[in-house]
């Protein structure tokens, strides 16, 4: 058998097409790997700095997680404590100092006033005003514990 019939009968077209495709794939992959080789080695050289960066990222995440986790430790009755505090703050006026709020809370018989006010700060009910005092956060959406 000769000519195109011979090629078709012997599966020549498929073998040739697949063969050249595999050669190209192999060399493209090798080319890509080689092109990245010096970058990989550079990364390996600076592995200490990279590790530090990665550790730093993890630490940040952990801090964030800690903040997040503190939400979980908030008491279930945070809304009730928030309501009490809001009344006290309306009484002393905004902006207010934290020692003054704690003192008033103690006088009003709030249990563990330092811890409760701390929870309210972490939950975003009480926020700093940037001038050394605190204000009541009116924006419900920014409260993580609400």
- In order, the DSSP letters of the chain are --HHHHHHHTTHHHHHHHHHHHHHHHHHHHHHHHHHHHHHHHHHHTHHHHHHHHHHHHHHHHHHHHHHHHHHHS-TTHHHHHHHHHHHHHHH-SSB-HHHHHHHHHHTT-SSHHHHHHHHHHTTSEEE-SSS-EEE---GGG-S--
- Closest separation between CB of residue 33 and other proteins, Å? 6
Please list, in sequence order, all residues whose beta carbon lies within 8 angstroms of the beta carbon of residue 40, skipping any fewer than 6 positions away: none
- In order, the DSSP letters of 24-53 are HHHHHHHHHHHHHHHHHHHHHHTHHHHHHH
Q: According to CB under 8 A, which residues from 79 to 118 bind other proteins?
A: none
- Closest separation between CB of residue 16 and other proteins, Å? 4
**Between 32 and 58, whose beta carbon lies closer to other proteins?**
32
- Closest separation between CB of residue 119 and other proteins, Å? 55
* 62 binds other proteins per the rule CB under 8 A: no
**Between 26 and 56, whose beta carbon lies closer to other proteins?**
26
**Between 19 and 68, whose beta carbon lies closer to other proteins?**
19
How big is the site for other proteins, counted in residues (CB under 8 A)?
33
Q: According to CB under 8 A, which residues from 6 to 45 bind other proteins?
A: 6-7, 10-13, 15-20, 22-35, 37-38, 41
Stretch that binds other proteins, among 2-10, 49-57, 99-107, 120-128 (CB under 8 A): 2-10
**Which residues in this chain contact other proteins in the complex, by CB under 8 A?**
1-4, 6-7, 10-13, 15-20, 22-35, 37-38, 41
């Amino acid at each position: 058998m000769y000519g195109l019939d011979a090629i078709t009968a012997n599966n020549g077209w498929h073998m040739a097409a697949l063969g050249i495709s595999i050669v190209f794939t192999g060399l493209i992959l090798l080319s890509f790997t080689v092109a990245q080789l010096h970058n990989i080695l550079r990364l390996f050289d600076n592995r200490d700095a990279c590790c530090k960066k990665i550790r730093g990222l993890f630490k940040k995440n952990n801090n964030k997680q800690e903040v997040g986790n503190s939400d979980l430790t908030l008491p279930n009755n945070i809304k009730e404590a928030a309501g009490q505090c809001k009344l006290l703050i309306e009484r002393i006026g905004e902006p207010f100092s934290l020692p003054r709020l704690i003192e008033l809370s103690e006088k009003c018989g709030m249990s563990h006033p330092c811890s409760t006010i701390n929870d309210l700060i972490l939950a975003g009910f009480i926020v700093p005003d940037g001038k050394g005092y605190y204000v009541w956060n009116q924006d419900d959406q920014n409260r993580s514990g609400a």
